[in-house]
């Protein structure tokens, strides 16, 4: 999940006009858009060409890369894939922060929270069911989150069977949106409830450095978006 560069084989090229193309690879490090996480960006190149990956999209079980031609034209065969790592790392930090905020908001409110959606590009937010929390609850959420970041905690990925998932994930903030799969990928911040998620995260909370809780935007009588940001990273490693 934190491979920045890899070799791959281009299996199929479908040109789009003279400036763009769709590529399918034998395997890819580009995470497609999904689950609130925007698509990775980066480049794919060989001796004879270089293309910019504008978007990776899940299409009928395959990841399709929509690319812009920079040099030459892509062809089937061996290539090198390079992620836009600073952008991916920011998304990983925001994604981990979103899960941390689920936990801290539940603590601050003293009740289970239920997420409705999230978006980790701009604007960056997590959507929740329920009334807008008080300013005091939001500040407590932020304080709790930053305490946990200062202490640090491992972030672990684990796969559960559908049966285990039903048992262990009942309090997960996105339990209502659990996918109907035989194997469920979960992310657990040490000390917090496991959360089903297929996205990319950092390996330790310490990498977040800090989180700021912005405004809670009321969407309707029973839902709101919690806007947040993570500290500018001192390093992108």
Least distance (Å) from Zn ion to the CB of residue 233?
18
# of chain residues touching Zn ion (CB under 5 A): 4
Neighbouring C-beta atoms of residue 8, cutoff 10 Å = 17
Closest CA to 208 of 233, 236, 187: 233
Closest CA to 148 of 193, 212, 100: 100
Name which of residues 81 to 100 contact Zn ion (CB under 5 A).
Answer: 95
Write out the DSSP string of 57-77: EEETTEEEEEEEEEES---SE
Q: x-or-dash pattern for Zn ion, window 152-191, by CB under 5 A?
A: -----------------------------------x----
CA dist., res. 184 & res. 142, Å (int):
29
Name which of residues 199 to 218 contact Zn ion (CB under 5 A).
Answer: 199
Q: Which residue in 197, 205, 208, 213 binds Zn ion (CB under 5 A)?
A: 197
Nearest residue (CB) to Zn ion, 79 versus 160 = 160
132 part of the interface to Zn ion, by CB under 5 A: no
Phi-psi region of 164 (alpha: psi -120 to 50; beta: other; left: phi over 0): alpha
CA dist., res. 55 & res. 40, Å (int):
7
Residue nearest to Zn ion (CB): 197
Nearest residue (CB) to Zn ion, 65 versus 201 = 201
Least distance (Å) from Zn ion to the CB of residue 175?
14
Least distance (Å) from Zn ion to the CB of residue 134?
27
Applying CB under 5 A, which residues contact Zn ion? 95, 187, 197, 199
């Amino acid at each position: 999940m934190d491979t920045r560069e890899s070799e791959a084989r281009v299996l199929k090229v479908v040109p789009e006009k003279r400036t763009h193309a769709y590529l399918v690879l034998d395997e890819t490090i580009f995470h497609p858009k999904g689950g609130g996480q925007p698509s990775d960006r980066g480049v794919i190149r060989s001796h004879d060409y270089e293309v910019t990956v504008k978007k990776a999209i899940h299409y009928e079980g395959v990841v399709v890369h929509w690319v812009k031609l920079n040099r030459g034209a892509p062809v089937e065969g061996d290539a090198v894939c390079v992620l836009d790592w600073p952008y991916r790392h920011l998304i990983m930090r925001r994604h981990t922060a979103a899960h941390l905020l689920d936990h801290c908001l539940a603590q601050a409110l003293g009740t289970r929270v239920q997420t409705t959606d999230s978006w980790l590009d701009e604007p960056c937010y997590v959507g929740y069911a329920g009334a807008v929390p008080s300013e005091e609850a939001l500040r407590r959420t932020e304080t709790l989150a930053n305490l946990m970041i200062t202490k640090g905690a491992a972030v672990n990925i684990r796969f559960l069977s559908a049966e285990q998932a039903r048992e262990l994930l009942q309090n997960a903030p996105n339990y209502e949106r659990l996918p109907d799969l035989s194997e469920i990928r979960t992310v657990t911040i040490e000390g917090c409830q496991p959360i089903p998620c297929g996205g990319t995260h950092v390996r330790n909370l310490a990498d977040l450095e800090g989180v700021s809780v912005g405004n809670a935007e009321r969407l309707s009588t029973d839902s709101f978006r919690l806007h947040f940001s993570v500290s500018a990273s001192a390093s992108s490693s």
